[in-house]
Amino acid sequence: MKRTTATAIGAVLAASMILGGCGGSNDGDGQTASSAPSASGGSGKAITLQFWGGVPPESGPQEAVDNWNKLHPDIQVQYTRFVNDDAGNLKLETALLSNQDAPDVFMSYSDFNVTKRVEAGMIEPLDDLIAQVGFDVDGIIGVDNIKKFPDGHYYYLPANRNIGATLINKTALEAAGEQVPEAWTWDQFAALAKKLTTGDMKGTAMDAALNNYGEHLLAEEKPLDSYIKDDGTSNFDSPALKQGLELQKDLESSGAQLSRAEAVANKLTNQDALLTGKAAMVVSQIYMLRYIKDTTNYPHDFQIVFAPVPQLTEGGNVNIGGGMGDFMSINKNSPNKDAAIQFMDWYLKEGNMAMVPGGRIPTNKQADQAKIAEMLIGDAGDLIDQASLQAALSGDYVFPTSYNVPAPTELHQVYTEEMEKYLLGAQSIDAATAALKKRGDETIASAKK
Amino acid sequence: MKRWRNSRVREQAAGYLFILPNFAGYVVFVLTPILFSLYLVFVDWEYLKGFAGIRWVGLDNFRELGNDPKFLHSLKNNVVFTAISVPASMIIGLLLAVLLNKYVYMRNTLRTIIFLPYMASLAAVSVIWSIMYNASSGPINAFLKSIGIAHPPGWLSSPQSALYAIIIMSVWMTIGYTMIIYLAGLQGISKDLYEAADIDGASKLRQLLQITVPMLSPTTFLILITQLIWSFQVFAPVAIMTQGGPIDSTMVLSYHIYLEAFRFYKMGYAAAMSWVLFAIIFVVTIVQWQGQRRWQNHF
């Protein structure tokens, strides 16, 4: 009984601390966001905009917000970080529903997160606001890079252009006598991974929470809504997915990659695997630069070279992990929409340059690319192979998107479960793909009900 | 007469005032959420639409329980977890208590060492144990290999052993608690009984089984109930160490509830499951209380 009482008291204390924390972080010397009408007038009390994002403040957002606040004493922005996981997204959504200190501007980090928020009516359509500040969507971001929702409106503007790449430990690559691949398939990737496996160093590694080959190959086969076929049924019976599953099993059983089950239990991350020498290469994204430069937490002396993401078929150019990200939206219930769009206008044109050292590339097509490369590398020139990074940055890619998949969270769960059973030997590949297709179709059907 | 009543009312008011801060906290943070969750049992809530997204569905959430293989699977894992961890922790705790009660030097130090894990943060303990359980480079498997076991278990990364790995950690944590309560219980047993048994020539083992264990039965019931409630609610080690995997081998009810609510946003269904969990714990506890009354009447 003692234990339960203690737990209850703990829960109450924790709850009150959370509440206290919210109050504290938002109080801003009593300048609460109640003076909505003065947004464009610029007279009277300063407006406080609440801006929520998933990036830790010290990795760029705080600097961006500070830069804005210096220029605009009448519109002060406060940054709040939410962790981009189940609990963090729930926290953001709960905050969006609340009446007090709700976020005015916020980020969504995946196609399906932004889609479900649009469908639930949490987001303000941006077209009128964009016209009001004269933001040149096509000139700055490009209309092809933004999803127009079925009602014909924009609901977000992307602030970050992700690029997927294979990051390779150059020392290990040279020791194996291999060249940096410039265009390659997954078969060549698997061959190199096996060749790079020596002693304690595996050929490759994978953050089990982020990646798996089945979904990668599926998205390369069908970059648009890879989970579903054109007729709306599950695409889980695709040969590409099967090939990806077999690739993963092959890499695990040949010892070129730590098994998925162990990676989950050990909470292996890409940066941990690559930079502490547990693996010679990882298929990941440009954001890894943030960790490559962080020699305090990841002391290492080898250079990292960048190769493209391996392809399903020769000559493909689908960029797994890449694409538009950091979807900026305005809360439908925000009283400060005019101020919010002004902030977004600035952030998308110049503010997000503060995010570059943290490994996030602005979507602004007019931004100075040479300067971006320079900022990305910072003072870590000896740890980064610059020519191959440039090549990765300037590549011409097809980015996968999936806005039209019903119940993506549930489908991903189905996929993960059947994949685990296959990888741990609890079912054959044919049983896995059959179960995937069947359960995938059932999940889609029950989502449409 | 009136004066007396006045003072009594004032006294009562003062009493209520004293408990008000605590009670207000209880109402806001405990009672209201509990009542609200009871309401959620009967609804389907489209969470992103706020309170407008609530739709009454009657008993549909309970009907869904029957169609959810994971619910039964989690329940089974809960039963296995409880059936092994609670008796193990009680038996080891009792033996340690008996030993530490008299036979050992430095017993205060040892008591502290054994009790320490119980006071440690569950989250920190889970993280450290998952490092120890690391199948390829963890100290546990390194030790097993050094004594000649060629293929030690995969612990958290194997569906066969993951649940047992969590049970072992949980027993390690809770024996400190059972031991301390048993130690307190041992103080209450009269020495005369043991002296009489010695004169009669009873062995130490017989004394343990026929004096110590029966005399400790109220203590045993207390521990049984608290441990049972605690073990049925196991959540943190699963959330931190395995996330229910591999292949759902460590999926327990509370983690299943958590996923349904906070990953899939099925608040109503999750609330229904949490009330089922409550009902199970409640029934088991009532049965135990009844059993205790009957058992204790023997003495």
Report pLDDT for A4. Answer: 46
**Is A93 in Cβ contact with B248 (below 8 Å)?**
no
Which pLDDT band, with edges at 50, 70 and 90, does A402 fall under?
Answer: confident
With contact defined as beta carbons under 8 Å apart, do A257 and A202 qualify? Answer: yes
With contact defined as beta carbons under 8 Å apart, do B273 and B65 qualify? Answer: yes
Q: 10 Å Cβ neighbour count for B150?
A: 6
Q: Is B52 on the interface with A (CB under 8 A)?
A: no
Q: Is the peptide bond before A357 cis (omega within 30 degrees of 0)?
A: no
Rg (CA), chain A: 23
- Is 60 exceeded by the pLDDT of residue A1? no
Nearest Cα to Cα of residue A283 among A322, A317, A254:
A322
State the Cα–Cα distance between residues B63 and B264, nearest whole angstrom. 18
Report pLDDT for B4. Answer: 63
Best of B48, B115, B122, B266 to substitute, by most chain A Cβ atoms within 10 angstroms, is B48
A92-99 contact pairs (CB < 8 A, 24+): A92/A52, A93/A117, A93/A122, A93/B47, A93/B48, A95/A52, A96/A122, A96/A331, A96/A333, A97/A122, A97/B48, A97/B50, A99/A333
State the Cα–Cα distance between residues A351 and A369, nearest whole angstrom. 15
| Half-sphere exposure (Cβ direction) of A357: Cα atoms closer than 13 Å | 16
Asked whether this complex has an ipTM greater than 0.95, the answer is no
A22-79 pLDDT tens trace: 433 333 333 334 333 434 444 467 888 999 998 888 888 999 999 999 998 898 999 9
Domains and CATH numbers, chain A: 41-161+324-367 (3.40.190.10), 164-321+378-448 (3.40.190.10)
A261-270 pLDDT tens trace: 888 888 888 9
Rg (CA), chain B: 25
User: A98-112, A284-298, A318-332, B47-61: lowest mean pLDDT where?
Assistant: B47-61
Q: Architecture of domain B60-296 in CATH?
A: Orthogonal Bundle (1.10)
Report pLDDT for B26. Answer: 92
Nearest Cα to Cα of residue A147 among A102, A105, A108:
A108
Question: What DSSP assignment string belongs to chain B?
Answer: -HHHHHHHHHHHHHHHHHHHHHHHHHIIIIIHHHHHHHHHTTEEE-GGGGGGGEEE-TTHHHHHHHT-HHHHHHHHHHHHHHHHHHHHHHHHHHHHHHHHHHT-TTHHHHHHHHHHHHHS-HHHHHHHHHHHT-TTT-HHHHHHHHTT-SS---GGGSTTTHHHHHHHHHHHHHHHHHHHHHHHHHHTS-HHHHHHHHHHT--HHHHIIIIIHHHTHHHHHHHHHHHHHHHHT--HHIIIIITT-STTTT--HHHHHHHHHHTS--HHHHHHHHHHHHHHHHHHHHHHHHHHHHHHTT-
In chain B, the N- to C-terminal Cα span, in Å, equals 49
Q: 10 Å Cβ neighbour count for B41?
A: 21
In chain A, count of helices (H) and strands (E)? 18, 9
Best of A13, A264, A331, A333 to substitute, by most chain B Cβ atoms within 10 angstroms, is A264
Report pLDDT for A44. Answer: 60
Q: Which residue has the higher pLDDT, B295 or A222?
A: A222
Q: Which amino acid appears at position B185 of this protein?
A: G
Best of A3, A119, A252 to substitute, by most chain B Cβ atoms within 10 angstroms, is A3
State the Cα–Cα distance between residues B55 and A378, nearest whole angstrom. 54
Q: Is B129 on the interface with A (CB under 8 A)?
A: no
State the Cα–Cα distance between residues B218 and B224, nearest whole angstrom. 10
Question: Cα distance from A380 to chain B (closest Cα, Å)?
Answer: 31
Q: What is the mean pLDDT of chain A?
A: 83
Structure tokens at A428: 């054959």
Give residue for tokens 């737990």: A7
Q: CA distances (Å), B33 to each of A13, A93, A405, B37, in order?
A: 15, 19, 34, 6
State the Cα–Cα distance between residues A353 and A362, nearest whole angstrom. 6
Q: Which residue has the higher pLDDT, B103 or A100?
A: A100
Question: Cα distance from B191 to chain A (closest Cα, Å)?
Answer: 29
Residues linked to residue A205 through DSSP beta bridges, in sequence order: A282
Using DSSP bridges, classify how beta strands A164-169 and A304-307 pair: parallel, antiparallel or unpaired.
antiparallel
DSSP one-letter code for A352: G
**Is A3 in Cβ contact with B230 (below 8 Å)?**
yes
Q: Is the dihedral of CA A192, A280, A182, A397 positive or negative?
A: positive
With contact defined as beta carbons under 8 Å apart, do B75 and B253 qualify? Answer: yes
State the Cα–Cα distance between residues B39 and B35, nearest whole angstrom. 6
Cβ-nearest to B159 among A3, A8, A424:
A424
Report pLDDT for A103. Answer: 92
Q: CA distances (Å), A125 to each of A33, A419, B47, in order?
A: 21, 39, 21
State if pTM tops 0.90: no
Give residue for tokens 């014909």: A152
**Is A121 in Cβ contact with B262 (below 8 Å)?**
no
Give the mean model confidence (pLDDT) for residues A10-21.
43
State the Cα–Cα distance between residues B64 and B51, nearest whole angstrom. 23
Question: What DSSP assignment string belongs to B22-67?
Answer: HHHHHIIIIIHHHHHHHHHTTEEE-GGGGGGGEEE-TTHHHHHHHT
| pLDDT of chain B, 299 residues: tens digit per residue | 556 667 888 888 998 999 999 999 999 999 999 998 888 888 888 888 777 778 888 788 888 888 888 898 899 999 999 999 999 999 999 988 888 887 667 777 888 888 888 888 888 888 889 888 887 778 888 888 888 877 888 888 888 888 999 999 999 999 989 998 998 888 888 888 888 888 888 888 888 888 888 888 888 888 888 888 888 888 888 888 888 878 888 999 999 999 888 888 888 899 999 999 999 889 988 888 887 777 665 54
User: In chain B, where are the structural domains located?
Assistant: 2-56, 60-296
Report pLDDT for A173. Answer: 87
**Is B48 in Cβ contact with A117 (below 8 Å)?**
yes
- Is 90 exceeded by the pLDDT of residue A105? yes
H-type alpha helices, A276-381: 289-292, 337-349, 369-377
Report pLDDT for A51. Answer: 92
- Is 80 exceeded by the pLDDT of residue A6? no
Residues linked to residue A106 through DSSP beta bridges, in sequence order: A52, A329
Give contacts of A116 with chain B, Cβ < 8 Å: 48
Q: What residues of A are in the B interface, CB distance below 8 Å?
A: 1-4, 8, 11-12, 15-16, 86-87, 90, 93, 97, 116-117, 119-122, 258-259, 261-262, 264-267, 409-410, 413, 417, 420-421, 424, 426
* Nearest chain B residue (CA) to A332: B49
Per cent of chain A over pLDDT 70 is 90
Q: How many beta-carbon pairs under 8 angstroms link A with B? A: 87
Q: Is B230 on the interface with A (CB under 8 A)?
A: yes
